[in-house]
Homo-oligomer: A and B are copies of this chain.
Amino acid sequence: MDIQQVLAQYRSRTELQLEQLFQEMASLEPRLPEAMRYGLLNGGKRLRPALVYLSHQLCSTDQPPHALTDRAAVAIECIHSYSLIHDDLPAMDDDDLRRGKPTCHIVFDEATAILAGDALQCLAFEQLSEIIDPTLALRQLKMMKVLARASGRQGMVAGQAFDLGHVGQPLTLEQLQAMHACKTGALITCAVELGALSAGEPEGERLDQLRRFGDLVGLAFQVQDDLLDIEGDTATLGKPQGSDQAQNKPTYPALLGMEGARSKLNQLHQEAVAILTGFGPDAEALIALTDYIVARDH
């Protein structure tokens, strides 16, 4: 399996839908959808949509992704993009560059960037509230709840708040892990869960295993991010290499050393793959994606 090809396929599928969001959007203030579009269609890897689609595939081997899977993929990318726009704001991480391009508040202005983020969060829930098939209404509500829980005060936003509240303070490994579990992990686990739920996966051991897989791959993603900040290349990363160190941010390498962080990554990778292996041959693509996430260079 060529995971790059699989990723490219789901990336196209996602981008096409994201583009469509802006076709029928007459707005009282055209700069608003322009800024939303800028933040959303910015060359992202679309890893979260890929997790949605591949998790759906794992739970529903013979069925292609349907409208609800598509909506989930779009919704999670709207949430992810809004969080990046807000995180980059001067009052937050104050970043001028994102994926090699000026951030939203640099291209537009702060107020527009705040509002574009607000509208993108709203758009995520709007996408998932569209009634596609009345018999799927309960499934859809459950998916909205999962998305809301992962995104808000007990998930992503809490992680960012904790991060900002501890700038310059040393963190224990436990605190670092808890922070990342919220800040990036919650939405990654959510992607896996949404894919499974869109396939009709019921509550039970399988869904719990997939959640556990999501947690592991989410942490692995972050450890790799920290390693890339030290070993990566600014041009490939699309952001200044070494920025975590420069800002004295707590990272896995800072707490565990480079070797310790690499060994942690390896351990998370193995545990994640072990869970998927239990699902048999249906998990092949999701395993390939996990390998890719751990080995990626940007």
Contact = CB atoms under 8 A, between A and B. Distances in A.
Main DSSP-derived SS at the A contact region: helix
A148 B161 contact: no
A162 B112 CA distance: 10
A227 to B, nearest CB: 24
Interface residues of A, number: 55
Interface string A7-35: 00000000000000000010111011100
A144 interface: yes
Contact of A158 (B29, B148, B149): B29
Of the listed residues A32, A115, A152, the one surrounded by the most CB atoms of chain B closer than 10 A to its CB is A115
A12 B214 CA distance: 41
A75 to B, nearest CB: 11
B114 A92 contact: yes
Contacts of A148: 122-123, 125-126, 129
A112 B162 CA distance: 10
A172 to B, nearest CB: 13
Contact of A29 (B130, B151, B161): B161
Contacts of A27: 153-154, 158, 161
A141 interface: yes
Interface string A151-167: 11110011111101100
21 contacts: A25-B154, A27-B153, A28-B161, A32-B157, A32-B158, A32-B161, A33-B153, A86-B114, A91-B110, A111-B161, A115-B164, A119-B157, A121-B121, A122-B152, A122-B153, A126-B149, A126-B152, A129-B144, A131-B141, A137-B140, A140-B141
